[in-house]
Amino acid sequence: MTDFPFSFVLPQPNVIPSRVDNHIVRNLSSLKGQFLDQDTYNEMLSKDDSLIYEVYEVKRPEIEGEFLMGISIVHPGKVGKEFYMTKGHYHTVIDTAEIYYCMRGEGFMVMETPEGETCVEPLSPGSVLYVPPRWAHRSICTSRQEDLVTFFAYPGNAGHDYGTIEKLGFRKLVLDGEKGIEIVDNPRFG
């Protein structure tokens, strides 16, 4: 009998913080209207409301001078050609920044301003991403097998504005093209 190769898991450094005040779970259904390929989205959702991303929050007073922080975990996967991603948001207090530190996996942060400026920055372990004030932001996992894990921190008074993005999505899409990753214009913006 052939002696088959096998694999087992060596314990990795845990990415779930030892202090967690809130665990947010976002499934496919919570991203309704966000993916370009709506037919595939509806077909996938009819079969299973898959887990797309999770956030482990460490809470602090939601006031200026404090930071809210946590770990974001975007799981690998696609809806059609579009990679799994977070809902993305502006800060309600729009003049507030956010810092991301990528711990594991690979992906992109897709960003835009209310004036229509866009920026798509790669994320890989060790990279620190600074999202300046006024930039909406969404993280996207492009790893084939690994989670995109980021540590984030933002001002306690920032707040989240999801509504603006939910209308049309972001101006740039990250797709799994035939020759590799493609960053394209969102056709829903005329």
Q: Which residues bind its own copies (CB under 8 A)?
A: 13, 17, 58, 60, 64-67, 69, 93, 95-97, 99, 101, 126, 128, 130, 132-133, 151, 153, 155
Closer to its own copies at the Cβ: 153 or 181?
153
10 Å Cβ neighbour count for 100?
21
Closer to its own copies at the Cβ: 33 or 132?
132
Q: Give the shortest CB-103-to-its own copies separation in angstroms.
A: 9
Q: Give the shortest CB-81-to-its own copies separation in angstroms.
A: 31
CA torsion sign for 147, 176, 50, 31 is positive
Amino acid identity for residue 102 in this structure: C
Q: How many CA atoms lie within 13 A of 66 on its CB side?
A: 12
Q: Give the shortest CB-161-to-its own copies separation in angstroms.
A: 15
Closer to its own copies at the Cβ: 120 or 158?
158
Strand ranges for 76-135 from DSSP E? 78-79, 82-83, 98-104, 107-112, 118-123, 128-131
Closer to its own copies at the Cβ: 45 or 99?
99
Q: Give the shortest CB-65-to-its own copies separation in angstroms.
A: 4
CA distances from 13 to 16, 18, 54 (A): 9, 12, 18
